[in-house]
Structure 1
Amino acid sequence: MANPQKEQGYTAVANEILEEVAIRKFSSTQHKILLVIWRYTYGFHRKSHAFSISFVQSKTGLSKDASKRGIKSLIDKNVITVVKEASFNGSRELMFNKDYETWKIVSDAPENVEEMEQNTSNNSLGADSSTGGGIAPPTGSAPAPPTGGGSAPQLKKEKESKERVVVDARKETPFSFFEQNFHILNGHIQDKIGNWCDDLTEEVVMEAMKITSENGVRKFSYTESILREWFNHSLTDIEKVRAHELHKKEAKPNARHGNNPQRDMGKGRTGQEQFVPEFVGRYKRA
């Protein structure tokens, strides 16, 4: 059973911000990205942080395209701002804009109390007219509408979609693999992993990490040396990467046991250096 405690860490977000976000028309994608941005900025007592697309994708379960569109829409709506553009050495640095009066997100809240009362009054009038002046309709006069707000195929499709999102959220990512097999993920390594995922793919980065772990190494610099080799050979597909590594493994025994006349010169059948007496050389010269 999960038992989270505030003592284990928490993210301090002002109540005023939470209330404002609740009444704005944010999409579910935008909500997810906002939570991640709060978690890795306010959650670490900082105002901004570098966020790669792959990192946001791994923390939200969204697709790569959805993550890109979500971040872009929040920037366009002035909900998050770009502190520093992405470079070869780092991801784009983002900051949450707490001045909600500058957001370009429509609010669902009524403008004043009179509007709320008018809406309530209209709803009650509509209810009275539908029942014929308050008289309840006879029971059993019509079949009850289907519950659940949709047909069975539609409900099945929605259920499958929700299950797919849960599976995607639990899917192993380069970030989670690093924390489980290397050490605690810090911001510097997070940026590097994110950049490599953007340049190659998550699968390729994971493969390099697995090779690093299998060789008993726990340094990301070792992983980067593998990734650079693949990048220089334009190996951006996981199948090409695996074929490349298999070819290297098959080539190693040949290189180790192959014939080298220059190397084997002066060696006997056992491969050991043979002692040649000095007088043999004098005899040959004579």
Structure 2
Amino acid sequence: RSFETQRYTRLCRRLTSSPPTTTTTAGVFSHLSHLSPPLCPPRLCPPQQQQQQRMAISDDDSGGRRPPGEGNSPPCLPQPWRLFVDLDGVLADFDRAFIEATGIAPSDVSAGELWNRVKGLPHFFAGLPWCKDGQRLWSLVESLSRDHPALALPPVVLTGLPTGKLAKTVRRQKLAWCKERLGETVEVITCQSALKHEWCTSSRCVLIDDRAVLGAAWERKGGTFIRHRADSAQGIISDAVISDDDDDEPSSVSASFIRTRWRLLSLVNPP
């Protein structure tokens, strides 16, 4: 027999024998009786059983931790995309309303004269009509944010305000427009247009806007800028090209909408 087995056998014989001159195992630990709880003699196991116990401990020695997928915290997921959508020129048709109210195009007047004319138009922003593809675009970003796993956050309206006292009036009217047409739960952020980039907090922030001049600042913050021009004159495309319209009668959509839709889908569904 092995040395360890022989040693175990001798030790068992020594403990089980009880000659008058031999101290029992209880006597060995009697001087520790003042401890609480009382100390018990050690239990001896055969070497084979000791080896089995050591193997069982080593197989389950996880230190209180569970392997991934067995109750641990979920793995780190990528940050979801966040869509910011401009209002004037993307969803609401500012130019058409201004022309109908004043008889001139916004591009034909200076910024100062434009806002002076807007001051004399009560409820101007609250009554803006939809852009040609405004409702279709909003339905697209809403459906992506609702149904696509990479877009777990609802879309946000990020719209600019003029400076001065007129800003409060414009803000109130824009909020009313969004509440009536987009719903009460839609988040609306108003700021000076030149400061829109301050809401770009990660590389997964996307701004859909008609003003290309705002794109550079947004992209410097690491975000994605999609220029969407609702008045694009680059032609129209039949609904047969896309399949997101449930209307019985096909209608046409702008090339700008097609490009915006393609950019959004390519972001959330990379090749």
Q: Shorter-chain TM-score category?
A: under 0.3
Higher Rg of the two aligned structures: 2
TM-score for the superposition, normalised by structure 2: 0.18
The structure with more strand, counted as a fraction of residues: 2
The structure with more helix, counted as a fraction of residues: 1
